[in-house]
Amino acid sequence: MAGNIHNPTTDAIRMVTECGLRPSPQRIAVAEYVLSHLCHPTADEIYSGLKNRYPSLSRTTVYNTLHSFAAHGAVLEVNVEPGITRFDGCTKPHAHFRCSKCGRIFDIDMTDMNFPDEFKISTIQVNLTGECPECDNSKRLH
Ligand SMILES: [Zn+2]
Ligand SMILES: [Zn+2]
């Protein structure tokens, strides 16, 4: 995708300001984290990943910043497992596949899908569950 040529810090600052927030180092760090960790982290995982580098960062700042991002469509909230909200820096339409064996979450491309033109779609949440190729293979080998 285009995006590799972007400077991650510039992208992160733009994301914070476009969501109407003051670009504090902590908020920029949260933005940078979600843009560079497309593995659908939870707010707690993002907080744990940043707290050593930003000792003044509070859990509340992480939660509030993520919710502002989500409200402005800068990140997607992913609810594949009941009661767990994950955050996705990839905002193009895609489905999520959760492997019931290893628990990993995969992005499934949906660009080839045909949506009816008469519906103006603002959010897409498609959650699939099953076995990922790796877990399915290991079953066949044994
Ligand atoms: Zn798996
Ligand atoms: Zn995703």
Q: Which fold has domain 8-87?
A: Arc Repressor Mutant, subunit A (1.10.10)
pLDDT < 50 stretches in the chain: 1-3
Domain locations in the chain? 8-87, 92-141
How much is the pLDDT for 140? Answer: 61
How much is the pLDDT for 58? Answer: 96
pLDDT (tens digit per residue) in 16-28: 999 999 999 999 9
> Residue 13 in 3-state DSSP?
helix
Q: How many Å lie between the centroid of ligand 2 and the Cα of residue 38?
A: 7
Q: How many Å lie between the centroid of ligand 2 and the Cα of residue 92?
A: 9
Percent of the chain at pLDDT exceeding 90: 72
Q: How far is CA 122 from CA 49, 65, 73, 92, in A?
A: 31, 21, 10, 11
Q: Which residues surround ligand 1, an ion (CB under 5 A)?
A: 99, 101-102, 132, 135
What phi and psi, each to the nearest 5 degrees, are found at residue 66? -60, -40
How much is the pLDDT for 18? Answer: 96
How much is the pLDDT for 124? Answer: 80
The reply to whether CATH 3.30.70.1340 applies to domain 92-141 is no
Give the E-state strand segments of the chain in sequence order: 76-78, 86-88, 94-99, 105-109, 127-130
